Structure 1
């Protein structure tokens, strides 16, 4: 009997070869069960989903890869480190594992990467779980102000400020990001300590390039919105409003294009699975049980 059948809630840590690159991913649940694909955000990795996966693995097959240049996956020289490149990677990864239709979790950078995949392969998308992912420019939070200034005037000084934020202290700020002190106590320093320890000069340069290039991604926002309007995928929106990048207004904006979506706001922030896991997981379970179950 396989580990997945003996103990479906146990997270398994695996590697595969993809286009000459060694890819790390976490997996839980039984192969053949309905799939939930879990692309991570910045500055994180599949570690983001380590506690959610066991809570759903009795009914779903959960898979969370580390993107190239992130976590334990390789950092190949010939990879295209932008949102199109990451979306292509995610598509190839899903094909390699033989996924048919799947639900996808959209969070942080993973939201735009996942939506680019959805635009490419709409027939693959069974449902969306949307959590603090931004695709509406008019409701971006105040922490975007520095980046918006850089987009208007992309100077070397502005790029240096971005580079300064790609640091251990910058990672800490990204993970704590506006939550009240008593909620910050729930966010383990393992998050920024681990992910900073996995950075080197090459990865740091990639991160700076991706952040500096976010203006191009914002240009895609109308395309993401059009996909939602055209396809109306079943959607669950779970959101932590204590988020300087993506406040409550960013969550409610999704209802413009997904008026039938379920929206739930929590006493939490950008990393909702760290602060509110046991409130969020039952909602995901109920939602997937209605729209994406065997």
Structure 2
């Protein structure tokens, strides 16, 4: 049965942080870092249907959603990984299954590299750590990454708009699926984008090019630790097509891969299927979670 999702705030290293929580406080934890240009909002329905047996925690990163946007914060992948570490420490969470989606994949894996024993299982959903299978939508970004930083940031800053947010959320899904993706996603998140947040977003997107150098490190961690892994993938994704999903099996050959009739934001169109697959997976690895 669906359970309530609680909307809470806490202080993490001096930063006012908003997060969503569902499930019993003593249950095994599933940590849900969000992607761009979203927030913990992306997990709202997923959490309601899994909270009977697990404690689900979805924070808004600093500079996103309803969390604060402090000046004294490192808005890069290491900074966000440190934030996740501090967030779980603040809530007294020692171990957790980790949901990897969008740029939350790289952030979550940096956290895993820091302390592998904390990660009990992975749920991978449209997260990119294999450069040779990046989708066609990366072509425009690669052109910007060739630019000198100031020029590249300027180009990105010009492109960050409400229409850009809409395109990001609709991505390459079929028209009938697009009608099932609520406009709340881009309307809500664009309304929260201050000038400062737009600058931060441009910087993160530009610095994605430096994150590519970390891809082999992420892959090596997967090979070394081989955590139980469920891969849920929406192949209608211009950034991360089906080939990007199958690439994870190079380093996690025992992982379970499920290709859904969905795109990058599959929790908007295929949440029931995602919940069923996740519930079955977590029940089987429960002793390790």
TM-score bucket of the superposed structures, by smaller chain: over 0.9
How is 1:143-292 mapped onto 2 (pairs within 5 angstroms)? 143-154=137-148, 157-292=151-286
Q: Which runs of 5 or more residues in structure 2 are unaligned?
A: none
Distance in 2 (alpha carbons) for counterparts of 1:67 and 1:36: 16
Structure 2 match to 1:4? none
Q: TM-score, normalised by structure 2?
A: 0.97
Q: Deviations over 1:210-236 (max 9, x none)?
A: 101111111110000000000000000
Distance in 2 (alpha carbons) for counterparts of 1:167 and 1:153: 21
Structure 2 match to 1:115? 109
Q: Report the Cα offset of residue 279 of structure 1.
A: 1.0
Structure 1 match to 2:132? 138
Distance in 2 (alpha carbons) for counterparts of 1:154 and 1:115: 28
Root mean square deviation of aligned Cα: 1.3
**SS at the partner of 2:62?**
coil
How is 1:1-40 mapped onto 2 (pairs within 5 angstroms)? 9-40=3-34
For the 8 Å contact 1:28–1:53, the answer to whether it is kept is yes
Distance in 2 (alpha carbons) for counterparts of 1:232 and 1:152: 35
Q: Report the Cα offset of residue 20 of structure 1.
A: 1.4
Q: TM-score, normalised by structure 1?
A: 0.95
Distance in 1 (alpha carbons) for counterparts of 2:12 and 2:70: 11
For the 8 Å contact 1:241–1:247, the answer to whether it is kept is yes
For the 8 Å contact 2:32–2:43, the answer to whether it is kept is yes
Distance in 1 (alpha carbons) for counterparts of 2:257 and 2:155: 35
For the 8 Å contact 1:13–1:26, the answer to whether it is kept is yes
